[in-house]
Structure 1
Amino acid sequence: MMLSGLLALLMAMVLIFMRRSYPRHLRRGLGLLASAPLLWCLSTVLFGLRGHLPELFSVVLANEILMGGVLAYHVGNQLFFTGRARWKGWTAAVLACLPLMAWFTWVTPSYDVRLALFTSVMGTLFLTQMAFMLRQPTSFSQTVVVLVLGLQSTVLGARLISVFLGQAGEGLMEPGLMQLAYLCGNAVSILMLTVGSVLCATERLRIEFEHLATHDTLTQALTRRAVLRRAEEELARLRRQGDPFSLMMLDLDHFKAINDQFGHQQGDAALIDFTERTQRMLRQTDLLGRYGGEEFLVLLPGTDAATALGVAERVRQAQPTPPALGCTVSIGVATAVDASESIDGLLARADQALYRAKHEGRNCVRQG
């Protein structure tokens, strides 16, 4: 148990150093996740010194610190995954255990009552945390944490049942199968939950880097490279199955005038507004990307020419028109129906159609 506590302590130090190197918006909750194993290790030391320290430290505070560590872990995960946490009710419950633990240690000594109180609070906390983690996106780290929480909840449930059966024993260190199962489960949980936190933090950073590599930082549309990569996949599907797909080239009309007249901040706002309006008009399978400057690209998987023109017209009509501040849009559409097509050729046709739309008065859709 002391060895697992030491390993968890080392993993907590890893989390602390990781937090220092993470971007500010990714740090939420990491401080609490790092503090949880520190509290668990402290409580382990206090439990281990039972008989050498007053019961205030080795019983009351040891149990309270252990529950505080689980609470810190729960709140830290909420902040890490969602950016918000419900902590007031649980904090009040954990603090309320302090005078109760003291009462049943000195005033009316009862190991069974203390154990029932402790396992009830801890078990409920673990189950609440497991339910929260099950609502998060499935990943290896999330699965590890859920399994460990489930294991520890099971052990705590069995320990609570032993209280009602009168088989709880006389103390934590008393030899017995249930005590051994609890101590081993607690040791494994401390280590594996800390490892799970490190895995979650690492995975979050990987996801962030992948997002930055595939999304435009201003508009949050996909990058040109990401859309074209998906277009290559659609072309391969066309060659295998014969499914058509379409590309739309979009260019904001008179965008330079907005920058020149109102400044680049308003220009950025116009790009963001365009992206949001366009995204609302697209289907779930369609992909919007920023091609460069005020030019955008839309990939329409499994879409023939007639359907693509309908989507393009919806996008065009969704944009603001004078005197509203913003830009109309000119759109060129090209559809791939032949296995001999290439992405460069499809882009060239869409670009030529876009040029005609610009030349013929802007704010219109043309097919290439």
Structure 2
Amino acid sequence: MIAHTPTLFAAVALVATILAFCLLLVGQFNRGDNLLLTGCGLLAHALAYVCYTLFGHAPLWVSYVLANSLLSLALAFYSASLFRVRERPVPWRPIFAIPLLMLLGLISLLETVEPRMLLAALVLMLQCVLILYWARQRALHKGRAHLLLVIGAGISLVGLGMRVVAVLAGTAQEMRYDTSNLKQTVSVAIGTATVMMYSIGLVLMAKERSESRLQHLAGHDVLTGTGNRRAILERFEFELEQARVAQYSLAVAMIDIDHFKRINDVHGHLAGDEVLCHCVRQLQQRLREGDSLGRYGGEEFLLLLPRTEGEGALAALNGLREAMARNPARFAGLEIELCFSVGLWCGVPGEDDTPARLIAKADAALYLAKAGGRNAVRLAA
């Protein structure tokens, strides 16, 4: 089926305009999201196709130079949106230098036919390849939205490749914007599909980012970044079952920062926050890959050491305690010396052992460590 090419251009422009209006409207309420950039890209996409409809009725600098430069600008906005959606710095200059080079190149080749068609197609193909690469690089773990961008960029390469083949085969006239034939119908139909895929793909990537952020907040302590109470208890359930089934030793440590209230009273709560973050950093630097740390509450942390016997756990925790003493926290130019007490339970879990029961045992040992003068590790009976 052969469609009237200017009519197809107008249809793509209409679709892109509607999508641009929706995203620009929504993007105004959350400028930190990528929707505003995506809306700007769709608007440039729509304007490009409006200019295409004027081919043969308007000067070439409007219907060809401006049209292709706007299409290149749309791809630049889509590229920038890929960085913004993953909260990465956007390389503005390299990304938006491409449409500028397209504009200057087409102006210099305005009086030609094949060279300007080849330049426009190759530059747009380069941008599609970059979108393919960045879409895969910026894909979220288990995310699927980037597949739409990959497919959209892929079929864009097919449509642009048709133009390159036509130029190299000496049939460039068949791809004029005011010519209606099967090649043009397929090429412009591809343009319609890419508009939809780029816009929907980028919107879904924003949705995936928001969901990923919420999942992270649900399982992490906002202040320290380590696991929160819910997350560490869920991990405890898992580690406990693993140790029970495989019959290996599990070490459960309750860590409490000594004299934390005094730190808050003397240096202020902001200093106390920095002390908590400092402790987490010091601990995480010295833990094994399979160990799990979480903020249990206040200045208390729950540490799980799988496959660790009593002597090994005592040695590891005393090493952590001594390392903490050697590395004071720093706040507002001051050094705040730190120490902590630890209650430790270690053994092969039995059928009756639960996280609450083992935490209670570790907590009782922690009480003994504090009662004995603090800055110590006590092993529960």
Matched, 1:113 2:115: yes
Q: What is residue 366 of structure 1 aligned with on the other side? A: 378
Structure 2 residue identity aligned to 1:117: L
Cα pair distance change 1:190/1:319, threshold 3 Å? same
TM-superposition CA deviations, 1:119-157 (whole Å, max 9, x none): 111111111121122223341112222232223224323
- Residue 210 (structure 1) shift: 1.4
Deviates more, 1:199-208 or 1:85-94: 85-94
TM-superposition CA deviations, 1:271-317 (whole Å, max 9, x none): 11111111111122322211111111123344444443343233212
Q: What is residue 364 of structure 2 aligned with on the other side? A: 352
- Residue 88 (structure 1) shift: 1.7
Q: Where do 5+ consecutive residues of structure 1 fail to align?
A: none
Q: What is residue 61 of structure 1 aligned with on the other side? A: 66
Asked whether the equivalents of residues 21 and 39 of structure 2 are also in contact (C-alpha less than 8 Å), the reply is yes
Cα pair distance change 1:213/1:15, threshold 3 Å? farther
Structure 2 residue identity aligned to 1:113: P
Q: What is residue 228 of structure 2 aligned with on the other side? A: 223
- Residue 59 (structure 1) shift: 1.7
TM-superposition CA deviations, 1:182-233 (whole Å, max 9, x none): 2122211111110011101111111111122211111111110111012112
Matched, 1:167 2:167: no
Give, in whole Å, the separation in 1 of the partners of 2:29 and 2:324.
41
Report the aligned-residue RMSD.
Answer: 2.4
Give, in whole Å, the separation in 2 of the partners of 1:189 and 1:250.
55
Q: What is residue 143 of structure 1 aligned with on the other side? A: 147
User: For 1:298, which of 300, 303, 316 is the aligned residue?
Assistant: 303
Q: What is residue 24 of structure 2 aligned with on the other side? A: 16
Q: What is residue 128 of structure 1 aligned with on the other side? A: 130
Q: What is residue 32 of structure 1 aligned with on the other side? A: 37
TM-superposition CA deviations, 1:101-133 (whole Å, max 9, x none): 23433xx231x2222111111111111121122
SS of alignment partner, residue 179 of structure 2: coil
Which runs of structure 2 are paired with 1:1-368 in the superposition (5 Å)? 1=8, 2-3=10-11, 5-22=13-30, 27=32, 29-105=34-110, 108-110=111-113, 112-136=114-138, 137-138=140-141, 139-170=143-174, 171-321=176-326, 324-335=335-346, 337=348, 338-368=350-380
SS of alignment partner, residue 231 of structure 2: helix
- Residue 68 (structure 1) shift: 0.5
Asked whether the equivalents of residues 79 and 95 of structure 2 are also in contact (C-alpha less than 8 Å), the reply is no
Give, in whole Å, the separation in 2 of the partners of 1:333 and 1:21.
50
Asked whether the equivalents of residues 33 and 76 of structure 1 are also in contact (C-alpha less than 8 Å), the reply is yes
Cα pair distance change 1:94/1:335, threshold 3 Å? same
Structure 2 residue identity aligned to 1:131: Y
Give, in whole Å, the separation in 2 of the partners of 1:303 and 1:144.
47
Give, in whole Å, the separation in 1 of the partners of 2:341 and 2:157.
60
- Residue 96 (structure 1) shift: 2.6
- Residue 4 (structure 1) shift: 5.1
TM-superposition CA deviations, 1:60-90 (whole Å, max 9, x none): 2111111101011112212332421223234
Cα pair distance change 1:300/1:61, threshold 3 Å? same
Cα pair distance change 1:34/1:243, threshold 3 Å? farther
- Residue 41 (structure 1) shift: 1.4
Deviates more, 1:150-159 or 1:256-265: 150-159
Cα pair distance change 1:113/1:316, threshold 3 Å? same
- Residue 336 (structure 1) shift: 5.1
Deviates more, 1:293-302 or 1:209-218: 293-302
Give, in whole Å, the separation in 2 of the partners of 1:326 and 1:151.
61
Structure 2 residue identity aligned to 1:346: L
Give, in whole Å, the separation in 1 of the partners of 2:34 and 2:257.
41
- Residue 331 (structure 1) shift: 1.3
Structure 2 residue identity aligned to 1:278: L
Asked whether the equivalents of residues 281 and 314 of structure 1 are also in contact (C-alpha less than 8 Å), the reply is no
Asked whether the equivalents of residues 75 and 86 of structure 1 are also in contact (C-alpha less than 8 Å), the reply is yes
- Residue 169 (structure 1) shift: 2.9
Give, in whole Å, the separation in 1 of the partners of 2:236 and 2:19.
43
What TM-score, normalized by structure 1, do the two folds share? 0.89
Give, in whole Å, the separation in 1 of the partners of 2:323 and 2:39.
48
SS of alignment partner, residue 325 of structure 2: coil
Structure 1 residue identity aligned to 2:112: P
Q: What is residue 4 of structure 2 aligned with on the other side? A: none
Q: Tell me the matched-pair count.
A: 362
Q: Where do 5+ consecutive residues of structure 2 fail to align?
A: 1-7, 329-334
Give, in whole Å, the separation in 2 of the partners of 1:36 and 1:339.
60
What TM-score, normalized by structure 2, do the two folds share? 0.86
